[in-house]
Structure 1
Amino acid sequence: MIQIRPWQVADTEPLLAVFRKNVPVAFGESEVAEYADFLTTYQEPYVVAEHEGRVVGACGHSIRLHEQKAHIVWIFADPALKGLGIGTALMRYNLLAIRQYPEVTELICRTSQVAYAFFERFGFQLQYTQPDYWVPGLDLYYMTVKPDGLRGL
């Protein structure tokens, strides 16, 4: 069973270990330091997934009410546990939290060709791509969905 709970400082090293398991397939080596910095500075909701008592993934969101937008941020899971529903549990948690803000008229995620199909399952639609955006070989896939277009909740 997957349990979702708020991120804590003690999760930093376990999360970095899981993050590194996704390099170079889903993230670039240079993004490890960027993610580590994110963990020390991010102030909005960020949650971790646990499976059998260990940290196996994370995801967060950012609400920008002045823009009426919400962003999904830094979602990933242990690739060795693919198929357990870790990513789905993390997305559902964050999407349900975002739905508590009726002012939000658009949800945004910036992902890559590695994960865009995952977001499509929730109703996100591709708006544009940019080659080699994250690192060489990992393109930006900019995706959006309106709250009434969300699926899988």
Structure 2
Amino acid sequence: MIRPYKPTDKEQLLKVFNLNVPKFFDKNETNDFLEYLEQKPETYLTIEDNNTIVVGTGYYVNEKDKSGRITWIFFDPNYSGQGLGKQSVDYCLNALSKDKRVEKFIVTTSQLAYKFFEKFGYTINRIEEDYWGEGLDLYEMEMFI
């Protein structure tokens, strides 16, 4: 079940986040993630299994470029292949598509996850090597409504 983030979720989310370091996230991104939770907690979601957080994802509207963005999506690797990533992205896209300010969707990811977002219709807009950290390239992707 998807539910809104609560400040008491922070420690569990950090544990799940750290299960994805260094493969999907650089260790230096931890502070950026914590800053996001402090600045935009109302835009973050979790999915639990047996009262334990197994997925985290955020979404927000960037009014400057009229985009709806999915951000900080990660999950416990033990839950890979169970459709929880798809469920969370579908939820975010549905919420963003209802916002009249949104003209396109943008996601920033890496070479390790861009194919996942292609399944939703995102296309690569730009690539920047070692953007997130050594060996983790930026794949900026977009999809128009």
* Superposition TM-score tier, normalisation by shorter sequence: over 0.9
Secondary structure of the corresponding residue to residue 49 of structure 1? strand
Out of 25, 38, 41, the position equivalent to 2:39 is 41
What is the aligned length? 145
Residues 71-99 of structure 1: CA deviation (Å, up to 9, x unaligned): 11111111121011111111011111001
Task: Give ranges in structure 2 of 5+ residues lacking alignment.
Answer: none
Q: What residue number does 2:80 align with?
A: 82
User: What's the C-alpha RMSD, in Å, of the aligned pairs?
Assistant: 1.3
The 2-side partners of 1:139 and 1:51 are apart by 31
Secondary structure of the corresponding residue to residue 107 of structure 2? strand
Structure 2 counterparts to residues 4-153 of structure 1, below 5 A: 4-147=2-145
Q: Give the superposition deviation at 1:53.
A: 2.1
Q: Is the 8 A contact 2:47 2:53 kept in 1?
A: yes
The 1-side partners of 2:120 and 2:42 are apart by 22
Residues 40-84 of structure 1: CA deviation (Å, up to 9, x unaligned): 222542110112321001111111235321111111111121011
Q: TM-score, normalised by structure 1?
A: 0.89
Task: Give ranges in structure 1 of 5+ residues lacking alignment.
Answer: 148-153
The 1-side partners of 2:32 and 2:41 are apart by 15
TM superposition outliers: structure 1 runs of 4+ over 6 Å: none
Report % sequence identity: 37
The 1-side partners of 2:108 and 2:138 are apart by 6
Q: What residue number does 1:150 align with?
A: none
Q: Give the superposition deviation at 1:127.
A: 1.1
Q: TM-score, normalised by structure 2?
A: 0.94
The 1-side partners of 2:62 and 2:27 are apart by 29
